[in-house]
Amino acid sequence: MSAVHTGPSPVQRTASGFIPAKDMAVIWVLLAAAFVAILNETTMGMAIPHLITDLGITPIAAQWVTSAFMLTMAVVIPITGFLLRRFTTRQMFLAAITLFSAGTLLAALATGFPMLLGARIVQASGTAVMMPLLMTTIMNLVPAASRGRMMGRVSIVISLAPAIGPTMSGFLLDHFGWRAIFVVVLPIALVAMFIGWRWLTDVGETTRAPIDALSIVLSAFGFGGLVYGLSQIGSLGEGASWIPLAIALSVGVVGLGLFLWRQVVLQKEDDALLDLRVFVSRDFSLSMTQMFLLSLAFFGAITIIPLYLQDALELKALDAGLVVLPGALAMGLLGPLIGRVYDNYGTRILLIPGSILAAAMLWLFTTLTVDSSVWFVMVAQTLLSVGLALSFTPLFTAALASLKPKFYSYGSAVVGTVQQVAGAAGIAVMMAIFTASVNAGGGTEVPGAVAAGTRISLTIGAIIATITIVGAFLIRKPEDDGEGPAEHIGH
């Protein structure tokens, strides 16, 4: 194992929370790349109605522009835990930003839906590396006493992308069409690539362990089969066969089970693609369960709401983007405060009100009609974002802080995998329910049918979010000394 960073290790860092300038430079370069990736991911939700019209596809097919992106990330992210230990920070960053840029270019030049879908998969392959790389680097470089504050500052930058994304997307869709979204994102990605190539330095240590090809195949079948099967639920019309759906779900369950078994075998020699010993930590396991449920509800909801705004309330894409803008800004502006509260008081003071607020707003969304006020939707969306801000930052900070440094990359990979799989499943299930309800009511041309579909699908999200209120009372901030609690993870 060879060291590639000469700075102080997590064990050597003091409780003062001081972060050297060169370490901050690395973090900011990775933040820039994460900004580009999240900006791209949050622009496509607004584009779905336009894709349906321009490409002549169904809502179920169109939602694969986002679901395939998230599914690809769910397949690739588990591998990043291993890759971040096998290759240097610089190598991983340049590979990721190159893939993302290539996918963006292909999407801008797409001649039809199959090419666009393929381009989104290439984009997602690069995006999948960004957040695990950022989170692992922060855990390695930032002292335990400052992690909450750093995550809070990080949220300012990361929240700018969701704030800008829908609004920028709406403007471009109204004036230039969906291809313009990729044309605008591409130069930003290329600038981030140049900055990383010029100034990024390596962090942590590398290992020479071989990559396990069988684990990659099993991961693809496991996660792919599950999410694909879920996405087909809404396409089952009267008299349609359930056999393909059952096969897809069965392949997913078996594939995921074999993938997990394979990791248990490989981790005995520290060769696992995704080391499952992270789940020995009680706090990590509880945090991941909570994050899974929140992501399931949240990603499904933010896919449905733009459709409701445009098809039920008949807003233009730009106006629909402005409706969700305050919520995204609120998430960013609250970041520093949430980080300080976490550092000083722990998780429950944030998670309990956060989960209650998120659940309450989703229940409010189940009352939407064609006569609902745009201001009502804007306020509810903003409060939902506040509730999620109170939840997500303490969840992933507490989860990773409960691990030893050697498991940070695997923990970051699990965080990303859980979020993406839950998000893809949430979108697939809620879009399926939405589509079935809308079609039964006369289609997207009938505003009342769209409103009814919105109410029914968001009821699922509200029920799921309500369950997280219980979990909020169980999760605690680990007593992290920079090395991670010894009792949580075995050798």
Is there a contact between 306 and 418 (Cβ–Cβ < 8 Å)?
Answer: no
Report how far residue 434's alpha carbon sits from residue 58's, in angstroms, rounded to the nearest whole number: 13
Residue 38 pLDDT > 50: yes
Residues 475, 284: Cα–Cα separation, whole Å: 9
The torsion angles phi and psi of 3, rounded to 5 degrees, stand at: -75, 145
Is the pLDDT confidence value at 98 over 80? yes
Whole-angstrom distance, CA of residue 361 vs CA of residue 379: 9
Helix (H, G, I), strand (E, B) or coil at 60: helix
Average of per-residue pLDDT across 49-64: 80
- Number of Cβ within 10 Å of residue 302's Cβ equals 24
Q: What Å distances lie between residue 327 and 154, 158, 231, 355, 396, CA to CA?
A: 17, 13, 28, 16, 20
d(CA 75, CA 68) in angstroms, rounded, equals 10
Question: SS3 for 2?
Answer: strand
Sign of the dihedral defined by the CA atoms of residues 477, 480, 483, 484, in that order: negative
366, exposed or middle or buried, with CB in 10 Å at 0-12, 13-18, 19+? middle
**In sequence order, what are the beta bridge partners of 3?**
205
Q: Which residues pair with 2 in a beta bridge?
A: 206
Q: Which helix (DSSP H) or strand (DSSP E) does residue 27 occupy?
A: helix 21-55
Nearest CA-CA partner of 403 in 83, 144, 219, 131: 144
Identify which has the larger pLDDT, 144 or 348: 348
Per 3-state DSSP, what percentage of the chain is helix, strand, and coil (rounded to 5)?
A: 80, 0, 20
CA angle 336, 339, 344 (to 5 degrees): 125
pLDDT at 361: 94
Summarize pLDDT for 102-129 with one digit per residue, the tens. 999 999 998 888 899 999 999 989 988 8
Q: What value does the mean pLDDT take over residues 231-251?
A: 71
Q: 149-190, pLDDT tens digit by residue? A: 777 777 776 667 766 777 788 788 888 888 898 998 899 889
25-29, 154-158, 202-206: which has the highest mean pLDDT? Answer: 25-29
- Give the pLDDT confidence of 413-456 residue by residue, as tens digits: 888 888 777 877 787 788 888 888 888 888 778 888 888 888 99
Phi, psi of 205 (to 5 degrees): -125, 155
What percentage of the chain carries pLDDT values higher than 70?
89
Confidence at residue 122, expressed as pLDDT on a 0 to 100 scale: 93
pLDDT at site 337: 86
For 61, 63, 91, 438, 440, the CA distances from 308, given in Å and listed in that order, are: 18, 14, 42, 11, 16
Helix (H, G, I), strand (E, B) or coil at 482: coil
> What span, in angstroms and rounded, lies between the C-alpha atoms of 57 and 59?
7
> Strand runs (DSSP E) across 54-170, as ranges?
none
Tally the residues of the chain. 491
Asked if 422 contacts 296 with a C-beta cutoff of 8 angstroms, the reply is yes
Q: In the prediction, which pLDDT does 406 show?
A: 81
pLDDT band at 238 (very low <50, low <70, confident <90, very high): low
pLDDT at 242: 78
The answer, yes or no, to whether residue 481 has pLDDT greater than 50, is no
- The answer to whether residues 397 and 148 touch, using CB atoms and an 8 Å cutoff, is yes
Report the C-alpha gap between 100 and 36 in whole angstroms.
9
- Judge whether 299 and 103 are in contact, CB under 8 Å: no
DSSP state of 211: P
Residue 226: pLDDT above 70? yes
Write down the pLDDT at residue 142. Answer: 79
The pTM of the full predicted model, rounded to 2 decimals, is 0.77
Q: Which residue has the tokens 């997990």?
A: 260
Contact 155, 333 (CB under 8 A): no
Higher local confidence (pLDDT), 342 or 202: 342
Q: Which helix (H) or strand (E) holds 337?
A: helix 335-345
The Cα–Cα gap between 81 and 447 comes to: 45
The H-assigned helical ranges of 404-446 are 408-440
